[in-house]
Amino acid sequence: MLQTISIEDNDSTNRLIKAWATRYLPDLVSLSHPNKRFPAAELVEAACPDGRAKTIQTVRRILELNCQLASLEATSVYSYVPNILQLSETRRIAQSANRVYEQVLHLYGQHQPPNHFLKFIDSSPELFSRLTLPFLVLPAISHLAKEIEPTLLAVQKEHIQAGDPRAIGFLTTQFHFMSREITKQLNPYEQVLLTPYLKFIEEQSCIPWQRVCAAASCQSTNAPIFIMVERLLPLCQPIAEATYHRAQQNYPEHRSRQGKLSQAAVARSTLRDLVMIQGYLWLSFLEGNLTRIKHELLPLCVMVFPSISVSWTLVEHVLALLFEEILTHLTLPEKALVLPYLQSIRKLFGTCK
């Protein structure tokens, strides 16, 4: 859940902000194919002002046609929440969510264009990335967060007035379905450029990255906990993916309201949840206590997962797999630092059976 937070300007917070920003780098490797040239010209064209304007027009058409359908799909997933149909009247939801997307599209259209001559580069995606990345990445992540925060907070407020904390997840699900529909109808070059923005919107509504960065202000850049979090934050996605694949192997037949673990929609939401848990872990490590886990993450898990037919046994099992995967990335001194936290968290989750 997004909260207004002030981030101090110091070395610790600035370094974590840089680590946070790595989550939204464009995936240029996805455009590379063996024995084929890298499509530099097509990507540069999509990133120029005319190309971005064309993408914005396409996305606006998609939003107009698919926003209410995404609301209906999210409503179906969250139909177990009392009064969710009244809370989520499709026209109002579509309009409120559109405000967030419109603001992001505005920022997307203002992006500095790459040099026209870069389209003539015949190179690998790695070389092209080094030359063009400043023109393709999101604006300064703290600036982007600050720009969309008022709109996102207003939309979030509209979605939690049902008096049921489970409804908080509805907003993230709404963005998830809308972003999926947008991505499906863009060409590969537009997807590479716009997907980081869509990912940012979805994560801002449920992962406390800003609070993680703010919590670093009380840590020295030489502190072991800070060094560990700075290194692990960019690894959140591969850690989540490794954990998900092990869970899928161990529970191939488990089915929630959304389907089996192997299904694409379940995979994406599971990966998002695993990254969210890591965000709360880093926040707890930096703050030196489990307050956020105990009073925010655990209650949300208790209310949401059983309600969508995710067994608590699976929740505990996947949590254990996540902790095992995180430990493989730690030094022995770091393991000694975090093991007490991880053991206490498992005990907290174990009391909820």
∠ at Cα 8 (136, 200), nearest 5°? 35
pLDDT band at residue 39 under the 50/70/90 scheme: confident
Nearest CA to 43 among 105, 148, 128, 142?
A: 128
Where do the domains of the chain lie? 11-207, 219-350
pLDDT of residue 249: 92
Q: What is the mean pLDDT of residues 100-104?
A: 89
Residue bearing the bigger pLDDT, 214 or 157: 214
Record the pTM.
0.87
Nearest CA to 308 among 259, 239, 345, 240?
A: 259
Distances in Å between the Cα of 87 and the Cα atoms of 66, 134, 161 are 19, 41, 7
pLDDT of residue 111: 84
Q: Are 182 and 7 in contact (CB under 8 A)?
A: no
pLDDT of residue 121: 65
pLDDT of residue 29: 81
pLDDT band at residue 260 under the 50/70/90 scheme: confident
pLDDT of residue 79: 55
Q: What is the mean pLDDT of residues 38-51?
A: 88
Each residue of 329-346: pLDDT tens digit?
999 999 999 999 999 999
pLDDT of residue 343: 95
pLDDT band at residue 86 under the 50/70/90 scheme: low
Q: What is the mean pLDDT of residues 307-320?
A: 90
Q: What is the mean pLDDT of residues 196-218?
A: 91
Each residue of 164-187: pLDDT tens digit?
555 556 667 778 878 888 998 999
Cα separation, 215 vs 296, whole angstroms: 16
pLDDT of residue 70: 58
Query: What's domain 219-350's architecture?
Result: Orthogonal Bundle (1.10)
Res 290 pLDDT > 90:
yes
Res 279 pLDDT > 90:
yes
Res 55 pLDDT > 80:
yes
Res 138 pLDDT > 70:
yes
Each residue of 106-127: pLDDT tens digit?
999 988 877 776 766 666 667 7
Res 210 pLDDT > 70:
yes
- Comparing 206-210, 228-232, 251-255, the range with the smallest average pLDDT is 251-255
Each residue of 61-83: pLDDT tens digit?
888 776 656 555 655 555 545 55
> In sequence order, what are the beta bridge partners of 259?
256
Q: What is the mean pLDDT of residues 278-298?
A: 94
Q: Which residue type occupies 347?
A: K
pLDDT of residue 115: 72
pLDDT over 90 for what percent of the chain?
Answer: 44
pLDDT of residue 68: 59
